[in-house]
Amino acid sequence: MHDLGAERCGIVTFVVPGVGPDLVKARLAERRINVTVTGAAGTRLDMEARRLADLVRASVHRCNTAGEVERFGQETESLRRSAG
């Protein structure tokens, strides 16, 4: 996870080691989970300073159920495990 904000919110940026952000987005979309990919242009000062490339961005809000958030975590973990 790459969020460093002083206040936690429902936006989470992350990578799945061994799986490119665009592929993470595509694989999660197959499972009906919507995420986006964000690049340095979106947060230039922060990402450039930390030498981060593209990241996956998930927006979890109060309209998501606890079960949906749990499934998001499980599917993301499954991608990580399959990457080796």
Domain that holds residue 53: 1-57
Please count the structural domains in the chain.
1
The predicted pLDDT at position 20 comes to 92
Scored b (16 or more CB within 10 A) or e, 10-48 reads eebbebbeebebeebbebbeeeebebebbebeebeeebe
The predicted pLDDT at position 56 comes to 92
Instruction: Say if 12 falls within a structural domain.
Output: yes
Instruction: Say if 14 falls within a structural domain.
Output: yes
Instruction: Say if 73 falls within a structural domain.
Output: no
The predicted pLDDT at position 52 comes to 81
In the predicted model, residues of the chain with pLDDT beneath 50 are none
The predicted pLDDT at position 27 comes to 96
The predicted pLDDT at position 16 comes to 92
Instruction: Say if 24 falls within a structural domain.
Output: yes
